Amino acid sequence: MATYPGGRRVAAVRAAPVHSLPARAILVAAAKISADRVVAGHHGQCTAADQGLGSMTPKVIYAALSDVLVVR
């Protein structure tokens, strides 16, 4: 966490290009930096079977060692 003037706290965010399967790359990167949380997006193109999540997001949710926040 970073603290700005006035005491406002914000989370640090890291981004880096990788060449791998998306879920695997996210999980490896999160483990490498000991991420507290992974944020994954939701596209809205799905079937009832995946409960509204894309194909990458469930893989990250089930395999992540940290919390996962899904954003619509």
Q: Compute the C-alpha angle 57/53/62, nearest 5°.
A: 40
Note the pLDDT tens digit of each residue in 6-64. Answer: 777 777 777 778 788 889 999 998 998 888 899 988 776 655 455 555 678 889 999 99
Quickly tell me which residue has 């996210």 as its tokens: 26
Tokens standing for residue 36:
């507290």
Model's pTM, two decimal places?
0.66
Do 7 and 14 touch, CB atoms closer than 8 A? Answer: no
Greater model confidence, 55 or 71: 71
